């Protein structure tokens, strides 16, 4: 089995017998050399997901050089989500914790029970496992009641730790979904450092920001300023999500929570998985993925680390 290029060591949980072999086939490309794997989403000029592209439609640019695509997948595959709750004291304001639970409920309802998996995590000054990864989404919905806000916030550190957790899962389509108001008061890591770690292991980070309606660009009650610019607390994590190939969504009502959850799941369902041989030089390699259609927008991680496991 080929080895993934990682920024740091990861351990894949063991699965017995034939189940392990089946999961490995879903999660990996077969090759005799190290490959870099990249997940990408494509949207047209109207923002609609493009789901019918082939290997020939893509071009990979690595440090300005074109790479040959060795493997390509676009078929539907199981998902693995690390759902990360902000339980800091600021989440008690304006029922933000309740809004976050609405969004998590919709996320879990969108998963295929028995096929997709998720794990629930909470953070204030540290990451805490609320419920382990499981395909039993009904049990996870029951565990939402165990998430209560308190304490300070180490948002950036928690995202990094959750990305490590989900990167060890056997599914090919993995992501961290963060439910937060965006306030960070005690992290050691900066958004740039977190995004570099998550991007290096190809774990997109999706942020569902629980905000007041006046700060929600999609709300009829939004102030003119919020239509143009994200609240200060959300701006930095918007960059973090974008650098990993993820995205930022807003939740200010039950309806917007449902919309945000569906957008995240729909996008993960239609990821393109692209693999290619890495560059010879060790270190950080910035990436650009293009399509033959110039008006299509490709979103993917910002780069990878070569030479980490060679």
Q: Strand, coil or helix: what is 225?
A: helix
Total domains in the fold of the chain:
2
Mean predicted confidence (pLDDT) in 73-98: 83
pLDDT band at 7; cut points 50, 70, 90? very low
What does the DSSP 8-state code read for residue 170?
S
Evaluate if residue 141 carries a pLDDT over 70.
yes
Structural contact between residues 303 and 38, judged by C-beta atoms closer than 8 angstroms: no
Query: What CATH number is given to the structural domain containing 33?
Result: 2.60.40
Q: How far apart (Å, rounded) are the C-alpha atoms in residues 290 and 61? A: 8
User: Is the same domain home to 264 and 161?
Assistant: yes
52 in any annotated domain? yes
235 in any annotated domain? yes
User: Is the same domain home to 302 and 179?
Assistant: no
Q: How far apart (Å, rounded) are the C-alpha atoms in residues 21 and 75? A: 18
225 in any annotated domain? yes
Please give the backbone phi and psi of residue 70, each rounded to the nearest 5 degrees, phi first.
-85, -40
Which of 301, 288, 274 has the alpha carbon at shortest distance from 56?
274
Region of 97 on the Ramachandran plot (φ > 0 left; ψ -120 to 50 alpha; else beta): alpha
Structural contact between residues 38 and 274, judged by C-beta atoms closer than 8 angstroms: yes
- Report the percent of the chain where pLDDT is more than 70: 76
Evaluate if residue 134 carries a pLDDT over 70.
yes
Query: Average pLDDT over the chain, rounded to whole?
Result: 80
Strands (E), 63-124: 65-67, 69-73, 79-86, 117-123
Range of the domain at 261: 79-268
User: Is the same domain home to 36 and 83?
Assistant: no
Mean predicted confidence (pLDDT) in 176-205: 81
Q: How far apart (Å, rounded) are the C-alpha atoms in residues 250 and 147? A: 20
Residue with the bigger pLDDT between 18 and 213: it is: 213
User: Is the same domain home to 132 and 174?
Assistant: yes
Q: How far apart (Å, rounded) are the C-alpha atoms in residues 81 and 225? A: 33
2 in any annotated domain? no
User: Is the same domain home to 53 and 115?
Assistant: no
Cβ-based burial of 233 (10 A; exposed 0-12, middle 13-18, buried ≥19): middle
Task: Determine the pLDDT at residue 152.
Answer: 61
Q: Strand, coil or helix: what is 36?
A: strand
User: Is the same domain home to 115 and 85?
Assistant: yes
pLDDT band at 184; cut points 50, 70, 90? low
Task: Determine the pLDDT at residue 227.
Answer: 46
171 in any annotated domain? yes
Question: Which of 83-87, 185-189, 197-201, 237-241 is the least confident region?
Answer: 185-189
Evaluate if residue 68 carries a pLDDT over 80.
yes
User: Is the same domain home to 151 and 245?
Assistant: yes
11 in any annotated domain? no
1 in any annotated domain? no
Query: What CATH number is given to the structural domain containing 117?
Result: 3.40.50.410
Query: Which pLDDT tens digit goes with each residue over 27-36?
Result: 444 444 588 9
Question: Which of 56-70, 91-105, 211-225 is the least confident region?
Answer: 211-225
Helix (H) or strand (E) holding 300: strand 297-300
Q: How far apart (Å, rounded) are the C-alpha atoms in residues 306 and 301? A: 14
Per-residue tokens: 67? 């790479």
Region of 63 on the Ramachandran plot (φ > 0 left; ψ -120 to 50 alpha; else beta): left
User: Is the same domain home to 42 and 87?
Assistant: no
pLDDT band at 61; cut points 50, 70, 90? very high
Query: Which pLDDT tens digit goes with each residue over 142-166?
Result: 999 888 766 566 778 888 889 999 9
User: Is the same domain home to 95 and 43?
Assistant: no
User: Is the same domain home to 161 and 298?
Assistant: no
Mean predicted confidence (pLDDT) in 203-222: 76
pLDDT band at 251; cut points 50, 70, 90? confident
Per-residue tokens: 224? 């003119």
User: Is the same domain home to 177 and 280?
Assistant: no
H helices present in the chain, as ranges: 17-27, 96-110, 137-143, 155-167, 191-200, 224-228, 232-244, 254-269
Task: Determine the pLDDT at residue 121.
Answer: 93
User: Is the same domain home to 25 and 147?
Assistant: no
Mean predicted confidence (pLDDT) in 236-253: 86
Torsion of CA 237, 79, 3, 132, to 10 degrees: 80
7 in any annotated domain? no
pLDDT band at 215; cut points 50, 70, 90? low
pLDDT band at 221; cut points 50, 70, 90? low
């Amino acid at each position: 089995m080929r080895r993934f290029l990682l920024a740091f060591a990861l351990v894949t949980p063991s699965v017995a017998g034939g189940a392990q072999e089946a999961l490995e086939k879903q999660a990996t490309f077969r090759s005799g050399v190290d490959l870099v794997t990249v997940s990408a989403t494509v949207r047209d000029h109207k923002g609609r997901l493009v789901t019918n592209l082939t290997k020939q439609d893509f071009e990979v640019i690595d440090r300005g050089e074109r790479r040959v695509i060795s493997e390509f997948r676009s078929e539907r595959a199981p998902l693995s989500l690390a759902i990360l709750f902000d339980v800091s004291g600021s989440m008690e304001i304006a029922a933000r914790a309740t809004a976050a639970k609405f969004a998590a409920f919709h996320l879990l309802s969108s998963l295929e029970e028995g096929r997709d998996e998720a794990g629930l995590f909470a953070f204030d000054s540290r990451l805490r496992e609320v419920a382990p990864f499981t395909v039993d989404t009904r049990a996870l919905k029951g565990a939402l009641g165990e998430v209560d806000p308190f304490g300070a916030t180490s948002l950036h550190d928690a995202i990094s730790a959750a990305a490590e957790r989900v990167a060890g899962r056997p599914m090919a389509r993995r992501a961290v979904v963060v439910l937060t108001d965006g306030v960070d008061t005690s992290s050691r890591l900066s958004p740039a450092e977190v995004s570099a770690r998550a991007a290096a292991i190809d774990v997109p980070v999706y942020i569902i920001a629980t905000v007041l309606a006046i700060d929600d660009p999609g709300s009829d009650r939004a102030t003119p300023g919020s239509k143009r610019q994200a609240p200060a607390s959300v701006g930095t994590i918007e960059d973090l999500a974008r650098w990993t190939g993820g995205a930022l969504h807003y939740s200010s009502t039950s309806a917007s929570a449902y919309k945000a959850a569906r957008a995240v799941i729909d996008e993960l369902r239609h990821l393109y998985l692209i693999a290619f041989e890495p560059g010879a030089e060790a270190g950080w390699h910035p990436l650009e993925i293009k399509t033959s259609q110039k008006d299509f927008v490709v979103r993917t991680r910002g780069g990878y680390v070569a030479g980490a496991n060679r």
